[in-house]
Structure 1
Amino acid sequence: MSYIDKINRFSWFIIANSTSGNGDFSKQWKEIRQNLNHKNLDYSFAFTQFSKHEVDLVQNAIKKGFRNIISVGGDGTLHNVVNGIMLQRYVKTSELTIGVIPLGTGNDWIKTYHIPNHIEKSIEIIQRKKTILQDIGVLKTTNCKLTYFNNVAGLGYDGYIVNKLKSLKRFGAIAYLLAGIYGLLFYKKSTFKIIFDDKVIETNCLMTIFGICKFSGGGMQFTKNVHTTDGLLDITIAKNLTFFDLIFHLPKLYSGKIVQHKKVATYKTNRITVIPKNAKPFIQADGELVGTGEVSVEIIEKAVKFCVNIL
């Protein structure tokens, strides 16, 4: 190991998405650097230049000896950083640590760990380096492409609204609600064949969710009793829920009580396959579209360390 590699091992490598921050990135980046310097954190940095550039940046940083990565941006930036870590073959993924400085629109992953959407406070959490070794999910779509996720994935209605969200992000946080309402009006449910453990469920389905953490879609909670280190996916199958079901129970989408609805079923498993019978619904992972149609999902137990706010 070279001298530079040894130095990098204890430094942070920052990957910043300059399109995050609702147009105020330059101002926020100045504040980030001031706080990092004030706390005497040693770091290098790079800005993303194109879609999924985080994957390349992470792998190059690890190759240079960095073992601590900071994601600056939203859930999409973090998703790509995680994929960069999981796809590299230089070191064990469990030897790598991720810190998050949230700047994005949704920032759902941070809610599970009580990380504030605040630059100075999130850097304080990184400085303390209290970590949790979290599970990571992996999706395999019909073209055998692998995609990793650290928060929540799913297909059906939630994939549909992620696709719609692309044209609504200019509205900020309310975009999630607007996309959700649009989906309720126009998304057509289809029949899913769902296979896990010794069960085969075939049902007309609004969506099937694969959860590791609690929140998605701008603060909605579709998972039940999640434990981010138990080696299990938290499965939610929303069956023939109607527009009026969801509108009437809208507060329950944010409180998590929607899982108590008679048309919603929850399970825990470490492996699941969902086969849509008469459609090719969108598949989303951490709010990013990753494919359509059939998907198989597995859990990788205690895969990556994250800096979290331990209360």
Structure 2
Amino acid sequence: MSQLDKFSVYNSWFIIANPIAGNLKFSIQWKEIKQLLNNKNIDYSFAFTQFSKHEIELVQNAIQKGFRNIISIGGDGTLHNVVNGIMMQRYAKTSDITISVIPLGTGNDWIKTYNIPNNIEKAVEIIHKKNTILQDIGVLKTESKTIYFNNVAGLGYDGYIVNKLKTLKRFGSIAYLISGIAGLLFYKKTIFKIIFDNKVIETNCLMTIIGICKFSGGGMQFTENVNSSDGLFDITIAKDLTILDLFFNLKKLYSGKIVHHKKVETHKTKTIKVIPQSSKPFIQADGELIGTGTISVDIVEKAINFCVN
């Protein structure tokens, strides 16, 4: 590749698109996206995902070829896999790479923290302006794997909801509500041993949330006053909350005020370990089911640039 070609690739965007993210209208939306990008004179190459987690391979190949600007077209799952591809590759510093998002998925929780509209035309305008923030990324380790996350991870009730969502996604955004109700009725709390900053908390726990950004579960906020670039996780430990507690505080789940409930406590930390004592609850990261059991989580400060509003 000539120096001119390398410069061209370096300043171009590589699009990774999930053609089945959230709906069956992708061919129409893709035509609109291409037209808007061309209208803004945004240079790009692209590839479509063909199987689960294909984004990881596609983004690594693009970075190896010299691309440093990536557009994720899809939902939170597509973005999650793009982030994992960037964090796992060894061709470039992750902080030299910029991600922009054109949201097409059902959840799209990450974009809410930055007030990015769920609108193709406005998303392309954000790409054109390229106003960026250098955001922290989480590293979550289970007994068998290492996963990176850019939004929110956790285990317990929220992991149960994500597991339920696998069979309900065809219902669209209402699937989150159905899954949440199922969780209220059937999820069994367990005792968690939570270790961070020389503290040990052992409590009957509905869920433990580890947040970089604000929103998860289709717009719920289990964290408040989040700073996605401060090098700290926002930890929320929801203890022995009952069905009635959640029902009567439903509005607070979406406003973030649930963190002030007497059965909820919050902390900020760089690293945390959660050890379930009596069962192996589901683990989720960015709305993706990761596994079950114990987790250790660390933060990578100011890891990737993201285009924001």
Are 1:58 and 2:88 an aligned pair?
A: no
> Within 2, Cα distance between the matches of 1:259 and 1:20?
32
Are 1:91 and 2:116 an aligned pair?
A: no
Unaligned regions of 5+ residues in structure 2, if any? Answer: none
- TM-superposed CA distance for 1:291, in Å, is 1.5
- TM-superposed CA distance for 1:5, in Å, is 2.2
Checking the alignment, whether the CA contact within 8 Å between 1:75 and 1:106 is kept in structure 2 is: yes
Match of 1:161 in 2: 161
Are 1:110 and 2:115 an aligned pair?
A: no
> Within 2, Cα distance between the matches of 1:21 and 1:172?
7
> Within 2, Cα distance between the matches of 1:140 and 1:5?
36
Checking the alignment, whether the CA contact within 8 Å between 2:152 and 2:211 is kept in structure 1 is: yes
Match of 1:249 in 2: 249
- TM-superposed CA distance for 1:198, in Å, is 1.5
Checking the alignment, whether the CA contact within 8 Å between 2:22 and 2:172 is kept in structure 1 is: no
Checking the alignment, whether the CA contact within 8 Å between 2:231 and 2:299 is kept in structure 1 is: yes
Are 1:240 and 2:247 an aligned pair?
A: no
Partner letter of residue 206 of structure 2? L
| Alignment of structure 1 residues 117-266 onto 2, 5 Å | 117-143=118-144, 145-266=145-266
Partner letter of residue 34 of structure 2? R
3-state SS of paired residue (1:274): strand
- TM-superposed CA distance for 1:22, in Å, is 1.1
> Within 2, Cα distance between the matches of 1:165 and 1:33?
31
- TM-superposed CA distance for 1:20, in Å, is 1.2
> Within 2, Cα distance between the matches of 1:234 and 1:164?
25
Extract structure 1 runs of 4+ deviating beyond 6 A. Answer: none
Match of 2:46 in 1: 45
Match of 1:271 in 2: 271
3-state SS of paired residue (2:41): coil
> Within 1, Cα distance between the matches of 2:287 and 2:210?
12
> Within 2, Cα distance between the matches of 1:155 and 1:85?
24
Percent pairwise identity: 76
> Within 2, Cα distance between the matches of 1:294 and 1:20?
30
| Alignment of structure 1 residues 264-303 onto 2, 5 Å | 264-303=264-303
> Within 2, Cα distance between the matches of 1:82 and 1:90?
14
> Within 1, Cα distance between the matches of 2:2 and 2:108?
37
How high is the TM-score relative to the length of structure 1? 0.98
3-state SS of paired residue (1:195): strand
Render the CA deviation track for 1:77-135: whole Å, top value 9, x for unaligned. 00000000000001100000000000000100000001000000001001100000000
> Within 2, Cα distance between the matches of 1:127 and 1:137?
28
Partner letter of residue 141 of structure 1? T
Render the CA deviation track for 1:37-62: whole Å, top value 9, x for unaligned. 11110000000000000000000000
Unaligned regions of 5+ residues in structure 1, if any? Answer: none
Partner letter of residue 185 of structure 1? L
Match of 2:28 in 1: 27
Checking the alignment, whether the CA contact within 8 Å between 1:161 and 1:180 is kept in structure 2 is: yes
> Within 1, Cα distance between the matches of 2:160 and 2:221?
17
> Within 1, Cα distance between the matches of 2:226 and 2:22?
29
3-state SS of paired residue (2:45): strand
Checking the alignment, whether the CA contact within 8 Å between 1:21 and 1:28 is kept in structure 2 is: no
Partner letter of residue 246 of structure 2? L
Say if 1:113 and 1:204 are closer, same or farther in 2 by CA, change over 3 A.
same
3-state SS of paired residue (2:272): strand
Checking the alignment, whether the CA contact within 8 Å between 2:95 and 2:305 is kept in structure 1 is: yes
> Within 1, Cα distance between the matches of 2:254 and 2:123?
24
Checking the alignment, whether the CA contact within 8 Å between 1:224 and 1:266 is kept in structure 2 is: no
- TM-superposed CA distance for 1:21, in Å, is 4.0
Superposition CA RMSD, Å: 0.7
